Structure 1
Amino acid sequence: MSDEDASGPVDFHCHLDLCQDMRAAYTRCESARCFTLAVTTTPKAFARNKSMARDSHFVRAALGIHPQLVAERASELSLFEELASSTRFIGEVGLDAGRRFYPSFERQKLVFESVLALCTRLGDKVISIHSVRTAKQVLDVVERTGAYRTCVPVLHWFNASESEIRRALELGCYFSVNEQMLQSPRGRILLDTVPIERVLTETDAPFQSDEFGGRYPGDVTGAIRLIADAYGEDHAVTSDRIRRTAKQLLTG
């Protein structure tokens, strides 16, 4: 059995470079055999993450331009475009219509549309997508650009209605979920609607509330418990199923 096949957690959306000790966070994921998608929030942050992940069996660094930073970092879109062909992994990208970030929403839409159009042209991208109060708008862009045809959209912390979840399934989306979101009614609706084969665990570390799991990358035990209970499975079986899905996406 290869290292990649060995048991271990899956953290399909976390910010290793924003942890207190970035190198220790990378080392921890590697030691835990944690299949990890280390998203970035700006294109300038990608080079260091890519270098850190270069010799890793389990961690993949993703190129991102976070919607919450578009107001200050939209000028980095040109750098994103230069770097996009160098990686299969894109994230964190998306839209955020929360009150604090709504003033930049029109610019966010332009950036996100450009990002997904580029990914569609390049093809074979795994894309971790942020969607605060923007489920419909995000899915509209996924569909309009054709990203669902040539890439794999993974919807991070997707708080949406059942109809929007079903639409996302029809577009081939996967869903990365964490313990905190699964405690909410929308999180339970998602698990009631999505087949286990489309579910991945995440922590969004270091940004989850201290009262839930996700205090460090790979801390998905609580999420696995909730997912397994929702599907009526043994916890170990659920963990193995999610790991197989992650391996398929990360090793392609």
Structure 2
Amino acid sequence: MDFHCHLDLYPRAREVYKEALHRNEFTWLVTTSPKAFEATSRVLGNSPKVLVTPGLHPEIAHERAAELELLLKQIAIAPAVGEVGLDGSPRFKHSYEIQRHIFQSVIRRCSEVGGRALSIHSRGAVKDVLAILQKHPGFGTAILHWFSGTPAELRAAEAFGCWFSVGPAMFESASGRALAMKMAREKIVPESDGPFAKVAGATVMPWSTHDTAERLASLWGVRSDEAVATLARNSHQLLRLMGRS
């Protein structure tokens, strides 16, 4: 399974899509803008094994802010939302207030329509992400993708009930491994974040769950098959929360 993948942005996306259908039980295809969601839904079609969701990536919030109203309309008919969130890194500080407006609007809308599962970007902005979520009870289920906050922020996110999607590229850094080690095992699901994520220069593919499981097994000190079983159990639990099983 893959709970965060930009499948539409791979080179030869149609071929990767077909391969994901063959290899994966479930793939969450997150989009970067409302118009990208429309185009991807139209071009790649619909399958019960691939969930395509509307989003507005914080890195392009300043370029696509005019699409917010379209996103709010899409949220009303979509079962989940992603990729959305905040990026407080120096590179995107210039658009932070626009990001905040968009993310608050999205979370408010999710609460209004009965709650949605959200794949959330939180680089350099975990405290603000959690604060916005807390202001809107009933927003749904938060899955923090490629979490990179502090240990204290991790504890706060866990206390709030967040899930975490983790992929092979997260283990390339010591800080990523340390955070993965500290995460509650029952709240971790696999992701690829392809085609952006890379390991040893190679693009991570949507069918990377076993790689993630092996890396977690090494951290946890368990056999690979035990880590595989844990991720499968978590994934099915999250899919139930998302109304997908």
TM-score normalised over the length of structure 1: 0.88
Residue aligning to 1:98 = 89
**C-alpha displacement of 1:168:** 0.5
CA contact (8 A) 1:120 1:151 kept: yes
Q: Percent identity?
A: 34
Write the letter of the residue equivalent to 1:86: I
CA contact (8 A) 2:169 2:199 kept: no
1:33-73: CA deviation from partner (whole Å, max 9, x where unpaired):
2421100000011123334352x232111110010111110
1:75 corresponds to 2:105? no
Q: 1:45 aligns with which of 36, 44, 58?
A: 36
Residue aligning to 2:125 = 134
Write the letter of the residue equivalent to 1:93: V
**C-alpha displacement of 1:233:** 2.5
CA contact (8 A) 2:107 2:139 kept: no
**C-alpha displacement of 1:212:** 6.0
Whole-angstrom distance in 1 between the partners of 2:203 and 2:140: 27
1:134-189: CA deviation from partner (whole Å, max 9, x where unpaired):
1111111121222xx44110001111111111111111100011122123233233
CA contact (8 A) 1:94 1:130 kept: yes
Write the letter of the residue equivalent to 1:58: K
1:119 corresponds to 2:121? no
Q: 1:224 aligns with which of 195, 210, 213?
A: 213
Residue aligning to 2:187 = 198
Q: Which moved more, 1:178-187 or 1:137-146?
A: 178-187
- Extract unaligned runs of 5+ from structure 2: none
Q: 1:182 aligns with which of 157, 171, 175?
A: 171
Residue aligning to 1:157 = 146
1:20 corresponds to 2:6? no
Q: 2:231 aligns with which of 217, 242, 248?
A: 242
1:36 corresponds to 2:40? no
SS in 1 for 2:148: coil
Q: Which moved more, 1:114-123 or 1:207-216?
A: 207-216
CA contact (8 A) 1:126 1:249 kept: no
- Counterparts in 2 of 1:142 and 1:234: CA distance versus 1, 3 Å: same
CA contact (8 A) 1:204 1:214 kept: no
1:204-246: CA deviation from partner (whole Å, max 9, x where unpaired):
1001235166532222333211112222322123223212322
Residue aligning to 1:143 = 134
Whole-angstrom distance in 2 between the partners of 1:117 and 1:27: 35
CA contact (8 A) 2:168 2:208 kept: no
Whole-angstrom distance in 2 between the partners of 1:58 and 1:214: 22
- Extract unaligned runs of 5+ from structure 1: 1-9
- Counterparts in 2 of 1:210 and 1:238: CA distance versus 1, 3 Å: closer
SS in 2 for 1:245: helix
Residue aligning to 2:50 = 59
CA contact (8 A) 1:63 1:84 kept: yes
CA RMSD of aligned residues (A): 1.8
- Counterparts in 2 of 1:144 and 1:214: CA distance versus 1, 3 Å: farther
**C-alpha displacement of 1:193:** 2.5
Whole-angstrom distance in 2 between the partners of 1:105 and 1:237: 41
- Counterparts in 2 of 1:249 and 1:212: CA distance versus 1, 3 Å: farther
CA contact (8 A) 2:20 2:27 kept: yes
